[in-house]
Structure 1
């Protein structure tokens, strides 16, 4: 039997004018990635999110059975040549237009300058090597000491040992005390005074942010960021866990995480004009799933409720992970606590100083996954909730990440029922991001378009009947940059109510479990983009977080990066992080009976009266 040869097809992507030749049968979504074009794809290719829209302008393609199903594409869009890229394979030469709403263009990535901890005590330092013959033994048995170093005898390779024996000039050794016993990372002439560098990384589900620091002084030399390349395989954590269920899938996601970090490192070393091999230490703060995927550990058990998660920090070498720094450099991941409370939350706590405070504090980090911690330096308890995606624009039909053209703030006029809004970059509106969604919900309540139960008012002038039921017209087609009305449907509102109830309910479980009324909270720490960009007053009015009348509110910015940086330049901070993780209580809301009651009580705007006392 003769096997037919696979032919190549030519595909063009507009308006980028990218031309690519790929084998027939290549998935269109994969071809877009090969062309170096960033496109939305929240569901990981399941055809359910409807974000990866493309328009076939010429040629042919094969559409899978899910294309255009449900509410993702209207009949009018199908007639106009719209497809979902994740459900199309290339069957011949073709040209596609990637519409503006599908592109990832100039994403707004939160980068804040970390603050040095109290003292600089890096885990990697350089010591002058002193050698001396041992009486009565051959010259090759002479002792090796490290001037100024006290501690366990460092281990070294045979190659390093013989190099020291053969050296004709004084040598220095770069030692790492991250593991026990310490290790010699490299040797250099004793006259070498070049600084040693380290990199702190915030390995987020969506973005990767890093900073380059001198290990001896803690000085930050450069910062950089990029999108996490794992986005191609799904934006949700559970989607990525599913993708990693095979050895090949796990290897793909591990490489994607490492490559994303390398992209940031390349930016850092270019800005600092140094060689990547001058980097001898890497500290990573990521959620539990990200830590597993980076280290190549099968994450499937994390889908199980009450799964037992090791709280010992994951440690690898740069060579093992494929990071483009000194091959012997250690990679230290801040410790995980539970399935969905990971090293990023520990980093937030270190950044906030919760490990050193006697006052009751609440930490809230609503990213792709919501992480919430309550406590003092004497005790801490945590929960996680699936509320973050809605507040990052995911799951909403007109939702988008915070990038050029995203509506980021909305204000309503109760007198007229009208609204005004702004976009990132003052560009024509393409959709709405997380901070704008919270503002919009409050504005809709204030103007009578939305009632306290989260139902659209059909009598409001901006509310109309749509193909899926009632919908609120946010920006009419003539006034936006996508050529069709930007709307918020009742389904969108229901999802938003669900997300806000999950967040508020999770906080309420912690407060109730520890008999802590809202008035007892002295510090409210808000981490990540939610804390940096959202209007906190509106977050309270909508009921995402309770009102804490006696609390000082602190925006941590990128607390995960700050915590990673603190652990990079201070061994004491690493010890503090490990102590926090070891002793923290975790409440799994999937098996906690109180959560269902608190969630139901939060399905109103704003929520339970005792959580939202009147303003003084």
Structure 2
């Protein structure tokens, strides 16, 4: 017998007053996504991170067994109506409040406007079409030429060729230089010339940043950013790979990435007064997993150590990916190198100019995934490490994104043992973000609350016993913006120590493999939010980065976006990107025997003496 459809119910989310209708029995997290809201969900719906807290105001729902969420919600919170959205099934009309600690509110996203290119060689060129009759043949056999073009004969389809044969309608041809010979993308009426635009995108695991530029001059007209809509399905790359295991999950993540990019493009077009249909070229700098998910490619094999990854750039159409641009526009994804070193790292290298320097340089980008490259214009070698999430506030009980109310700077007084903090927007503290976590770790060491092995001193005034072991009381409940204490647990410190050891150990592996010391490095390029917002001196004192006494430190900001822009308007940059990807050595730390030794040595503050010669 055919089962009746589930009744449709209304779910209201406060304080946004957002209403969505869903079938009874729908996951609350799914309803939140359908309502267009984004909340914290680091674990991707497994119920283990405890970040997607909501409060049931009215209605009925069921929870997953306590074995899943019992350790994430206290009895007092349950009595107050708290639930984890990913573990709730809504059964009737209901109203929920999304509390302040679960909301993603005005995140601090690094948006760096790239330097305008000097020489412009864009992905798409426009040429006037000239038709010449071929003597002795009918009109339908006219010769086609492109005024001012020299090079290999461009490719076009039979359909495109026959569309040109009306001599009364002068046209211009748009040629894509991504192909050899060039490919005809479209024909436009010559009497109404269209200015061509391109968009460069940094497709990050957490954020999406873009800029819009004129293709003829390279002039940047607007920049914009948003959160990657995939974050609701998991913060870490492996979580998303797991979510993409089914065709439906992969399709969901592809559409989420495209929707986030479209949010950025819509803002860019509006701010620049440009019609999206005039966008004929897009470049994407994303890590290997993001490139796979955007292009709808199964990323499951990337979980395997030493997985063979194609280093050929992925090229798609805007229409095929569902992007807001001219349907014929081509999308160029900067090439991947390995399973966790992708086009974003290549973009960083282009921005740093490592491919043009004789000096030994180190590029470090500690985002959600850490990517590190050592080399010069003759050679380069890379590693990736799972260090970034801790430095972005993920995996820490009180961790949060860099947004209003996040503790972003901490200072400790060694004499009094007291710790002072500031928050983004000078708002009451809701948690602590990446830059604040690094500051706090150093402050805890300076005030004696933390020893060189990363263990709390039980005699320190603010160290106490908590439900999960020792913890440090950072903010009292009457000081916080959530009405709850903000504490740092020993588990948090252990996770931070693990992350810092992974980063420092990865750098040590590269130096050891190529027989270099910290004194040989002449340039240290720091990319992304870690480089822009973290106090680098404290990062060295804690042991995230070694001390490079002879190196000049360069903060290159959003190097991935700048590299994507360079590839949008420069054929030379695209050639450099592909050359670097082809020739770069990748060391998989999962199979490298030296990494275990270097990691163990880095599990102390700051770390191995030869990596910190003056510390």
TM-score tier (shorter): over 0.9
Q: Which moved more, 1:134-143 or 1:604-613?
A: 134-143
Deviation at residue 248 of structure 1 after TM alignment: 1.4
Q: Secondary structure of the equivalent of 2:152?
A: coil
Please tell me whether the aligned partners of residues 359 and 522 of structure 2 are also in contact (alpha carbons under 8 angstroms): yes
Q: Which moved more, 1:246-255 or 1:202-211?
A: 246-255
Please tell me whether the aligned partners of residues 54 and 96 of structure 2 are also in contact (alpha carbons under 8 angstroms): yes
The gaps in structure 1 that reach 5 residues or longer are: none
- Write the distance in 2 (CA, Å) between the matches of 1:31 and 1:193: 46
Match in the other structure for 1:319: 319
Over residues 282-327 of structure 1, what are the superposed CA-to-partner deviations in whole Å (9 max), with x where a residue is unaligned?
1100000000111111110000000000101111111111112111
- Write the distance in 2 (CA, Å) between the matches of 1:335 and 1:584: 11
Q: Secondary structure of the equivalent of 2:164?
A: helix
Match in the other structure for 2:430: 430
Q: Secondary structure of the equivalent of 1:127?
A: strand
Q: Secondary structure of the equivalent of 1:165?
A: coil
Match in the other structure for 1:130: 130
- Write the distance in 2 (CA, Å) between the matches of 1:258 and 1:567: 20
Please tell me whether the aligned partners of residues 68 and 74 of structure 1 are also in contact (alpha carbons under 8 angstroms): no
- Write the distance in 2 (CA, Å) between the matches of 1:498 and 1:505: 10
Deviation at residue 158 of structure 1 after TM alignment: 3.0
- Write the distance in 2 (CA, Å) between the matches of 1:378 and 1:87: 52
Match in the other structure for 2:255: 255
- Write the distance in 1 (CA, Å) between the matches of 2:10 and 2:564: 45
Match in the other structure for 2:572: 572
User: What RMSD over aligned residues (CA atoms) do the two structures have, in Å?
Assistant: 1.3
Over residues 527-581 of structure 1, what are the superposed CA-to-partner deviations in whole Å (9 max), with x where a residue is unaligned?
0000000000000000000000000000110000000000000011000000000
Over residues 384-404 of structure 1, what are the superposed CA-to-partner deviations in whole Å (9 max), with x where a residue is unaligned?
000000000000000001111
Match in the other structure for 2:441: 441
1:581–1:116: structure 2 CA closer, same or farther, 3 Å change rule? same
Match in the other structure for 1:525: 525
Please tell me whether the aligned partners of residues 67 and 87 of structure 1 are also in contact (alpha carbons under 8 angstroms): no
Please tell me whether the aligned partners of residues 117 and 218 of structure 2 are also in contact (alpha carbons under 8 angstroms): no
Match in the other structure for 2:420: 420
Alignment of 1:89-238 (within 5 A): 89-238=89-238
Match in the other structure for 2:266: 266
Deviation at residue 99 of structure 1 after TM alignment: 1.1
Deviation at residue 66 of structure 1 after TM alignment: 4.8
Over residues 180-217 of structure 1, what are the superposed CA-to-partner deviations in whole Å (9 max), with x where a residue is unaligned?
23122222233444321110000001111110001111
Deviation at residue 260 of structure 1 after TM alignment: 1.1
Q: Secondary structure of the equivalent of 2:26?
A: coil
Please tell me whether the aligned partners of residues 44 and 232 of structure 2 are also in contact (alpha carbons under 8 angstroms): yes
Over residues 214-265 of structure 1, what are the superposed CA-to-partner deviations in whole Å (9 max), with x where a residue is unaligned?
1111100111111111112111111111111111111111111111111111
TM-score with structure 2 length normalisation? Answer: 0.98
Over residues 445-473 of structure 1, what are the superposed CA-to-partner deviations in whole Å (9 max), with x where a residue is unaligned?
01111110000111111111111111111
Match in the other structure for 2:543: 543
Deviation at residue 81 of structure 1 after TM alignment: 1.7
Please tell me whether the aligned partners of residues 100 and 482 of structure 1 are also in contact (alpha carbons under 8 angstroms): yes
Q: Which moved more, 1:113-122 or 1:37-46?
A: 113-122
Name the count of aligned residue pairs.
615
Q: Secondary structure of the equivalent of 2:487?
A: strand
- Write the distance in 2 (CA, Å) between the matches of 1:606 and 1:377: 31
Over residues 118-137 of structure 1, what are the superposed CA-to-partner deviations in whole Å (9 max), with x where a residue is unaligned?
42111211111111111222
- Write the distance in 2 (CA, Å) between the matches of 1:550 and 1:66: 55
TM-score with structure 1 length normalisation? Answer: 0.98
Deviation at residue 368 of structure 1 after TM alignment: 0.4
Please tell me whether the aligned partners of residues 129 and 145 of structure 2 are also in contact (alpha carbons under 8 angstroms): yes
Match in the other structure for 2:28: 28
Match in the other structure for 2:404: 404
Please tell me whether the aligned partners of residues 124 and 280 of structure 1 are also in contact (alpha carbons under 8 angstroms): yes
Please tell me whether the aligned partners of residues 71 and 468 of structure 1 are also in contact (alpha carbons under 8 angstroms): no
Over residues 47-80 of structure 1, what are the superposed CA-to-partner deviations in whole Å (9 max), with x where a residue is unaligned?
0000001112222210011576353112221222
Matched, 1:468 2:454: no
Matched, 1:392 2:392: yes
- Write the distance in 2 (CA, Å) between the matches of 1:20 and 1:333: 36
Deviation at residue 3 of structure 1 after TM alignment: 3.0
Please tell me whether the aligned partners of residues 473 and 488 of structure 1 are also in contact (alpha carbons under 8 angstroms): yes
- Write the distance in 1 (CA, Å) between the matches of 2:581 and 2:63: 48
- Write the distance in 2 (CA, Å) between the matches of 1:321 and 1:422: 42
Please tell me whether the aligned partners of residues 47 and 67 of structure 1 are also in contact (alpha carbons under 8 angstroms): no
- Write the distance in 2 (CA, Å) between the matches of 1:4 and 1:319: 38
Match in the other structure for 2:595: 595
- Write the distance in 2 (CA, Å) between the matches of 1:254 and 1:180: 29
Q: Secondary structure of the equivalent of 2:500?
A: helix
Which contiguous aligned blocks of 4+ residues in structure 1 show a shift greater than 6 angstroms? none
Match in the other structure for 1:288: 288
Q: Secondary structure of the equivalent of 2:69?
A: coil
Matched, 1:604 2:601: no
Q: Secondary structure of the equivalent of 1:506?
A: helix
1:495–1:149: structure 2 CA closer, same or farther, 3 Å change rule? same
1:352–1:2: structure 2 CA closer, same or farther, 3 Å change rule? closer
Deviation at residue 12 of structure 1 after TM alignment: 2.2
1:68–1:590: structure 2 CA closer, same or farther, 3 Å change rule? closer
Q: Which moved more, 1:44-53 or 1:459-468?
A: 459-468
Over residues 401-456 of structure 1, what are the superposed CA-to-partner deviations in whole Å (9 max), with x where a residue is unaligned?
11111111111111111111111111111000000000000001011111100001
- Write the distance in 2 (CA, Å) between the matches of 1:278 and 1:92: 46
- Write the distance in 1 (CA, Å) between the matches of 2:17 and 2:613: 57
Q: Secondary structure of the equivalent of 2:478?
A: helix
- Write the distance in 1 (CA, Å) between the matches of 2:94 and 2:184: 56
Q: Secondary structure of the equivalent of 2:12?
A: strand
